[in-house]
Structure 1
Amino acid sequence: MTKPAHSARDIAADVSAGRISAVETAKAALARIEAAKALNAVVTIDPARTLADAATVDARLRDGETVSLAGVPVIVKDNIWVGGWRVTQGSRLFADFIAPQDAIAIERLRRAGAVVVGIGATSEFASKGVTTSPLYGPTRHPQNPALTPGGSSGGPAAAVAAGLVPLAIGTDAGGSSRRPPAHVGVAGFKPSYGAIPYGPGFAEPFFGLSVIAPIAADVADIALAFEAMAGVDARDPDSANIAQDAVDISGLRIAFSPRLGLDAAVDDVVANGLASTVARLAAAGLPIAQRDPVWPPGTTEDAIMPLQHAGLAALYGDAFRKDPAVFDPDIAKQIERGLAWSGSDVARALIASTSIAHAFAAFFTEVDVLLAPTVPCVAWPFTQLGPDMIGGRPASPRGHAVFTPFVNHARLPAISIPCGRDKAGLPFGLQIIARRGQDRTLLCAARYIEALLRA
């Protein structure tokens, strides 16, 4: 597949300078999407609407406006409202839903001159780690069509990795916009909870966890998109302003945790690749100490999963009782579990979630930046929820997701950047985490680390 000629920032510069029009840029993106139909990364297009929006950007520039994302083509995940577009959450229940308005983040992107060129595939309700859905089927890995890009933001991540667009917008409630980028070799950023306003949009099964998450080929494009979307908005009571200035990177206290303090299986190629990456960073002068977060006894992802199941059951339990077959079978199982959990089960999960947040908060009183794996393995067949084996051990269906959910429950910012590949060329990622509200410091650190790894 043909890669875009430029990054998002280069496209914006060229469109702003009149070297190319937003309409021409949009047409080129639509042509790439058409040529990559077999990837199934983009599930809805509306060329007439896209080209009309691009023409509006060109007119704004002729009128003298200055915008940071002028003409940049963007894919938006199929669970984020884009006004006037069909947005379905990958579910038959919403097969004909037309979003009545933009989510605040999309409104801000458009104000900054970005042009939505398509809707990116997600698993149903963004609730599993493989991007397949009842409406659209499987999304394929750009390097190997037999494999999955992961989930749930597999469509946006695959679209960026395949060069269809330079920028995509996903969501992240447990790693959905960090793991897929790690599996396809691009960058994915989960901001602090509230840093980018969430909604208006669909009712959210992940209470107080999900964030809008930019995905791009590099950290600079992610930072550009973040600045366009971030900031408090009265329509979202959870939105918050975050620190405006990044701290001096040279003074950061950096830790490396090979397994995030968990009894987690990791494939040798990933473990060795992460160790080699950290050694390179240390050799380049970064002061890195090996240190693990300390979790309360019994802290596992199983302890917090009742929150997801109960959230799905609360929203879709009635529809499930009427016709279970309308759902993805994997999501139907989650709803069924949610209907069976007691109030005290859910309360215990909330207590576990709070304990995770407190443990991470204690850790970040003595550390500024934490390096850890994003994923413990490379991509696997799209017909499976996860690989059969990880690190020489039989793997559970969520074994591939072990290193990302705790970050959501602590509401911290985290980014995944590429850091290695296996012998078949399949990528994996380095996850960089910071304390809540230090998004700009994290992005500066990630950009510096990315430059060291590319040198």
Structure 2
Amino acid sequence: MNPMDLSAAELAARVRSGEMTPAQVGGAARARVAERNPALNAMTVLNPALEDEAADVAARLAAGEDLPLAGVPVVIKDNIWVRGLPVTQGSRLFADFVAPEDAQAVLRLRAAGAMILGIATCSEFACKGVTNTPLQGKTRNPVDPGLTTGGSSGGPVAAVAAGMAPLALGTDAGGSSRRPPAHTGLYGFKPTQDLVPYGPGFEEPVDGISVICPISRTLEDIALAMSVLCDLPPGTPIPGPYAWSADFGLGQRLDADVAAAFDTFVRCLETQRFGMTEAAPEWQGLNGGSVMALQHAGLARLFGAAWQEDPSVFDPDLAVQIETGLGLEDASVADAKSASARMGAILNGFLDRFGLVVVPTTPCPAWPVDQLAPQEIGGQPCAPRDHAAFTPQANHAGCPALTIPFARTHAGLPIGLQIIAARGRDADLLATARTITAAMAPKEHERAT
């Protein structure tokens, strides 16, 4: 078996036992990238020091160190600092930037024996729902290269889904490490705000909502990564009843296959005697658009001067956001800040009542790679951000959210299920996800009916 087809937990166990060496694993990872990356454009750079890192892990194991991620290749999103590697945020402005130090999360991966395979693509400044930049080009979906991975963590999910590495780090300020995993059949976990250290690194357009997220092919690997990133202990399943909502109280339409799969999921859990209650927060008119002015204003603050000097440097879609931000009045930004606080308070209050809520991760599967957004959802024309309707709320509430692969459309495209829990209940959320996935009938979560 190719080592890259193993989970991170299985791979680390074989390296610790001596069945495989870190050098063998590193070689397999490089070969898999050479084989599959040209068709997908997931990786921006391979780590030239990978062999040295493999030798270091081997020496540490020989010295008796206990390394939970021994020899596991990890891919890092192109906005998280990795010392000595080019990290560009997908932007021509940072085309020559080399990270001066590791982000704390990267240091913790290294301390656990992980090897940094390289850097994976992201949309410019991680502020776009597809991974397509003038600097790095288009990243394609391994399930169907004619489709997008979504964004902004498109490169990390493409690399993991294509078997280039079993584990990746992404970031998430509005769903960027939940929606792309949903589009590629992966797990993506957004932790409680500040549970995993974020810097040192680039300044964020919006403070206090972005988190570093593990992305993997198994739930076990998510838990393993979280134990390394923040010493997260095993949790206890959250008792029911569980709230569920097909539209998260937003009136958002779903594609027919998504709606059918979600209905099947709810019926499956009801059959398994899970307490399921249809309920959703009362958003008081708030949605993802209510807070977008914060991103636009933040981009204008960080890059407005460079845009005014030369707009052609930027991704045209980001240039529109920057220009919009420059035109915002203070009152509009203040309104968006108020909306953020209210959105977070509403969701946190709801989770105080129910413990967790289950919703689709996205209302639709992946769409053509040349499009910024799907043209239709549920058979009707949709707005550009409708595909992201269900994810930003958890960021503004600061609470944990997990996407799990639970179904496929009739065309074979992955669909994600999102489970959101109260702040600080990250371990319990992962434990609950285990019970939910174990209870799902073997075939009911594979294909929409």
TM-score range (shorter-chain normalised) is: over 0.9
Residue equivalent to 1:405: 392
SS at match of 1:170: strand
Q: Does 1:348 align with 2:349?
A: no
1:24-423 correspondence runs (5 A): 24-36=24-36, 37-46=38-47, 48-230=48-230, 246-249=235-238, 251-296=239-284, 298-423=285-410
**Conserved 8 A contact 1:80-1:201:** yes
- Counterpart CA distance in 1 for 2:148 and 2:404 is 18
1:416-435 correspondence runs (5 A): 416-435=403-422
- Counterpart CA distance in 1 for 2:441 and 2:306 is 49
Q: Which range is displaced more, 366-375 or 279-288?
A: 279-288
| TM-superposed deviation, 1:245 | 6.0
- Counterpart CA distance in 1 for 2:341 and 2:27 is 47
- Counterpart CA distance in 2 for 1:424 and 1:128 is 26
Residue equivalent to 1:7: 7
- Counterpart CA distance in 1 for 2:165 and 2:274 is 33
**Conserved 8 A contact 2:240-2:276:** no
The superposition leaves residues 401-428 of structure 1 with CA deviations (integer Å, 9 ceiling, x where unpaired) of 1110111111110000011111110011
| TM-superposed deviation, 1:293 | 1.0
**Conserved 8 A contact 2:3-2:28:** no
SS at match of 2:49: helix
- Counterpart CA distance in 1 for 2:253 and 2:316 is 27
SS at match of 2:59: helix
- Which amino acid in 1 is paired with 2:330? G
Residue equivalent to 1:236: none
- Which amino acid in 1 is paired with 2:196? I
The superposition leaves residues 232-279 of structure 1 with CA deviations (integer Å, 9 ceiling, x where unpaired) of xxxxxxxxxx8x562344x33311111100021211110111110121
- Counterpart CA distance in 2 for 1:382 and 1:6 is 28
Structure 1 portions without partners, runs of 5+: 232-241
- Which amino acid in 2 is paired with 1:246? G
- Counterpart CA distance in 2 for 1:113 and 1:55 is 11
| TM-superposed deviation, 1:454 | 6.5
Structure 2 portions without partners, runs of 5+: 443-449
**Conserved 8 A contact 2:81-2:101:** yes
- Which amino acid in 2 is paired with 1:337? T
- Counterpart CA distance in 1 for 2:392 and 2:265 is 23
CA RMSD of aligned residues (A): 1.3
Q: Does 1:442 align with 2:429?
A: yes
The superposition leaves residues 332-375 of structure 1 with CA deviations (integer Å, 9 ceiling, x where unpaired) of 00000010111111110000000111111211121011100100
| TM-superposed deviation, 1:4 | 2.3
The superposition leaves residues 2-38 of structure 1 with CA deviations (integer Å, 9 ceiling, x where unpaired) of 7823110011111111111111101101110111122
SS at match of 1:100: coil
- TM-score of the aligned structures, taking structure 1 as reference length: 0.95
SS at match of 1:424: coil
SS at match of 1:135: coil
SS at match of 2:215: strand
- Which amino acid in 2 is paired with 1:168? A
SS at match of 2:352: coil
**Conserved 8 A contact 1:177-1:213:** yes
- Which amino acid in 2 is paired with 1:148? T
SS at match of 1:372: strand
Question: Aligned pair count?
Answer: 440
**Conserved 8 A contact 1:3-1:162:** no
- Counterpart CA distance in 2 for 1:454 and 1:89 is 41
| TM-superposed deviation, 1:319 | 0.4
- Which amino acid in 2 is paired with 1:290? E
| TM-superposed deviation, 1:312 | 0.6
SS at match of 1:198: coil
- Which amino acid in 2 is paired with 1:344? A
The superposition leaves residues 214-234 of structure 1 with CA deviations (integer Å, 9 ceiling, x where unpaired) of 000011101100110116xxx
SS at match of 2:146: coil
- Which amino acid in 2 is paired with 1:33? V
Moved over 4 A (4+): none
